Amino acid sequence: MAYVADAPKASFRPSMLIYDTRYRSITIQVIVLLLAVLFVGWLADNTIQNLAAKDKDINFSFLWNRAGYDLDQQLIPYTNDSTHGRAAMVGLLNTLAVAFLGCIFSTILGVFIGVLRLSKNWLVSRLMTVYIEMFRNVPLLLWIIMVFVIFSEIAPAPKDFKVTDEMIAAGELPKASMMFMDSVAVTNRGTNIPMPLVEHPLGYVNLGFATANLTVVALFALIGASIYANRRVARHARAVQEATGDRPTIWWKSLLILFAPSIFFLWALGFHLEYPELKGFNFKGGLNVAHSFTALLLALVLYYGAVIAETVRSGIIAISNGQSEAAFALGLRPGRTMRLVILPQALRVIIPPLISQFLSLTKDTSLGIGVSYLDLRGTLGGITLNQTGRELECMLLMMLIYLLISLLISFVMNIYNHSVKLKER
C-alpha cells in the first residue's frame, strides 16, 4: 500500500519578510516602530541641544519651590507659601470639579432636551430646536465670557443688601435681597452659599502631594458601600422575580440603605450649615463661589447639553418604531415606554459618542482662562509657567495630566458601555 507523504515545508528565507504575506505585516510594523523611535529620539536630542544652547535644561525641581501667589478657589488647603506643585494640585482639583459637575449636569440636560426634541407638540419641539441650534453653533468661549459678564455686571453689589435703621424706620426695602430663605446671595463679587461643616471632624492626613480630609473620605466610602449594598438587594429582588414571577417591594429598603447610614454619620459628627451674613462691605461666612467658576460650569452645561441632546435624539431615532408600538399595545404609557423600553436600548447607540463629548468637555475646561478661572491651565500652565520660565516642563506636565484624565474617562465609560451592550447567549 502506498502512502502520500506530506509536502516538505519550505525553510525560512529573508526574502519572505517582504514577499510572504505571513511575515509582511510584522515587517511593516517593526519598520514603523523603529522609525517612530528614531523620530522621538531625534526630537528629544534636538530639544536638549537647543535648550543647552540657551543655558537651559529639563528640570522639574521648580515644583518644590515657593509659589508666591494666591488662589481664590481651592478644594485643599493652600497659601502663597505653598509650592508650585501644590498650586498645580489645586488647579487640577478645580479642573476635575468643573469637569465632573459639567458631565453630570450636561447629560441630564441633554437627555431632557433630546427627548423633548422628539415631542409631538409642535411648539415644544421647535423651542428645543432653537435652543440646540443657538448654543451648539456659537463658540463655547463666547458663551463663557457672556455668562461671566452677565453675573459680574447685572448682579447687585454687596452694599445693596444692607438694611439701615433709617430704612427700617421709613419702611423701605433694600435694593437686593438674599434668595432661598435668606441663604444665598448673588453679588457682583461672587455667589455666597451655605457651607457644610461638622463639629467633630475626623482630621486630615498629609500624603505629601496632597492633604486628605478623613471626614470626606469616610463619607464617600460610606456612600459607596451603601450603593453596593443596594445593588445586592436589587439583584436579590430580580432573582426572586425570575424564580417566582413576583417582585418583592424593596423601595423602602433602598431608601434606608442609601440614605440612613450617611445621615446618621453626619448627625454623629455634628453636621450643620454656616450661612453667609453681610458684615461691613461684604458677606462673611458661608462659601463664596467665584463667578468664573459659575460662568465656566454654566456655559459648559448649556453648550454640551445641546450637543448631547442631538446624540440622545439620534439614539432614540435608531430604535425601531415597533418597540414603541409593542409597549403601547401592552398598555404602557408614553413616559414609561420611553424610560423602560426606548432609552435602555438607545443607550447602546448613545454611549460611544457620549464618551467623546465627555472628553471634549473635560479638555474645554481650559477655556476658563478666558474669565480668570485658575484651573490646571491657569496655575501650572499660566502663573507657574510665567514665574519659573519652565515652558517645556509645564507643557509636558499638562499634556500628560490631560492625557491621563482622558484615558481614565474613556476606561470608565467603556466599562459602562460593555455592561449595557447586547450579550450573546
Both 378 and 262 in a single domain?
no
**Mean pLDDT over the full length of the chain:** 86
CATH code, 84:
1.10.3720.10
Q: Which of 248, 274, 300 is at the close of a domain?
A: 274
As beta bridge partners, residue 185 has 192
Which pLDDT score is estimated for 5?
A: 55
Both 125 and 138 in a single domain?
yes
CA angle 238, 240, 241 (to 5 degrees): 60
Q: Is the pLDDT of residue 100 over 90?
A: yes
Whether 177 maps to a domain, the answer reads yes
Domain with 240 in it:
195-274
> For residue 155, what is its C-alpha cell?
448682579
- What is the rounded average pLDDT of the residues 297-308? 94
Both 146 and 292 in a single domain?
yes
Please tell me which residue, 1 or 270, carries the higher pLDDT value. 270
Which pLDDT score is estimated for 10?
A: 61
Both 159 and 169 in a single domain?
yes
Which pLDDT score is estimated for 324?
A: 80
Task: Look at the chain and report how many structural domains it folds into.
Answer: 2
Q: Is the pLDDT of residue 210 over 70?
A: no
Strands 287-289 vs 211-213: parallel, antiparallel or unpaired: unpaired
- What is the rounded average pLDDT of the residues 85-110? 92
Whether 328 maps to a domain, the answer reads yes
- Nearest one of 397, 318, 310, 307 to 360, comparing CA atoms: 307
Q: What letter does residue 270 receive in the DSSP assignment?
A: T
Which pLDDT score is estimated for 3?
A: 56
Q: Radius of gyration (Cα) for the chain, nearest Å? A: 29
Both 303 and 261 in a single domain?
no
Both 280 and 154 in a single domain?
yes
Q: Is the pLDDT of residue 160 over 60?
A: yes
Q: How many CB atoms lie within 10 A of CB 198?
A: 16
Which pLDDT score is estimated for 320?
A: 83
Which pLDDT score is estimated for 296?
A: 93
Please tell me which residue, 255 or 57, carries the higher pLDDT value. 255
Which pLDDT score is estimated for 2?
A: 53
CA distance 230 to 232: 5
Both 310 and 177 in a single domain?
yes
Residues near 184 by beta carbon (within 8 Å), at least 6 away in sequence: 178, 191, 192, 193, 194, 276
Both 200 and 147 in a single domain?
no
Whether 252 maps to a domain, the answer reads yes
Helix (H) or strand (E) holding 90: helix 84-117
Q: Read off the pLDDT band of 30 (50, 70, 90).
A: confident
Both 285 and 398 in a single domain?
yes
Residues near 409 by beta carbon (within 8 Å), at least 6 away in sequence: 355, 358, 359, 362
Q: Is the pLDDT of residue 1 over 60?
A: no
Q: Is the pLDDT of residue 7 over 70?
A: no
Q: Is the pLDDT of residue 28 over 70?
A: yes
Please tell me which residue, 140 or 246, carries the higher pLDDT value. 140
Which pLDDT score is estimated for 425?
A: 54
CA distance 130 to 164: 46
Which pLDDT score is estimated for 134?
A: 92
CA distance 375 to 300: 15
CA distance 250 to 104: 27
Which pLDDT score is estimated for 4?
A: 54
Contact call for residues 147 and 136 (beta carbons, < 8 A): no
Q: Is the pLDDT of residue 164 over 90?
A: no
* DSSP per-residue string spanning 188-228: TTEEEE-EEEESS---EEE-SS-EEEHHHHHHHHHHHHHHH
Q: Distance of CA 107 to CAs 58, 97, 111, 201, 390, Å?
A: 41, 16, 6, 34, 38
Ramachandran class of 114: left when φ > 0, alpha when ψ lies in -120 to 50, beta otherwise? alpha
The model's pTM is 0.83
Contact call for residues 365 and 375 (beta carbons, < 8 A): yes
Positive or negative: CA dihedral 325, 124, 302, 102? negative
Please tell me which residue, 162 or 208, carries the higher pLDDT value. 162
